[in-house]
Amino acid sequence: MPPRSERVLLDVAAADGPAEIRYEYGYVVGEPGAQHRPVQPYRAPFALAQRFQVTQAPPDAVTHAEPSSRNAVDIAIPVGTAIHAAREGLVINVAARHFKTGLTLQNMNEANFVQILHDDGTHAIYAHLQLDTVRVKPGQRVARGEYIANSGNTGFSSGPHLHFVVLHNVGLRSESVPVTFAGPGGASVTPRSGQALMAY
């Protein structure tokens, strides 16, 4: 459906006497069946020439066991470090007011994040950002390398880090896709746990 359009999905006739209708709805971001087709490897999501350690990446699945996080990359980054867009796109969602952290289920939805839709229909999530540091807003286009927020330690987190994941719509659910980052001389770098990742 086009943005801001309307479509009747269900028309229910009035019943005689008291009636109750219950319904549930959900949505998945991105075009169904979107194919991950970046024109170049992703830029490491921090300032050029900085280097940080990857603490979790495929095939490791300590906390990334679900299809939506299986290909996510966790990078140990100190709180307050500038986070940059790894790929250009349209900001579609942000959260910036959370401050809680920890490994309890109550913290699952307490992470600050930026969500960016890419031109191929995939979208990236940059999560666990610092309170009140998101510099972009929904509807804004960002360039590759643009400063979007500061790293933090919010939500379900055992320590300061950036959770970076790219997802695509596979029908009624989102699944993560593998990513590579730009390396020296135009090379592609596949992130691995324990590896130092540098931004080029």
Domain membership flag for residue 23: no
Q: What is the mean pLDDT of residues 77-99?
A: 97
Tell me the C-alpha distance between 38 and 148, whole Å. Answer: 20
pTM of structure? 0.88
pLDDT for the residue 13:
78
Q: What is the pLDDT of residues 27-79, one digit of tens each?
A: 888 888 889 999 999 999 999 999 999 999 999 988 899 999 999 999 999 99
User: Which SS3 state, helix, strand or coil, does residue 125 take?
Assistant: strand
User: What is the tally of structural domains in the chain?
Assistant: 1
Domain membership flag for residue 194: yes
* Residue ranges making up the domain that contains 132: 51-198
User: Which SS3 state, helix, strand or coil, does residue 172 take?
Assistant: coil
Domain membership flag for residue 183: yes
Domain membership flag for residue 175: yes
Neighbours of 173 (CB within 10 A): 12
Whether the pLDDT of residue 198 is over 80: the answer is: yes
Domain membership flag for residue 28: no
Domain harbouring 173, CATH code: 2.70.70.10
With contact defined as beta carbons under 8 Å apart, do 63 and 56 qualify? Answer: yes
Give CA 155 to chain center in angstroms. 14
Q: Which two tokens stand for residue 74?
A: 């966790």
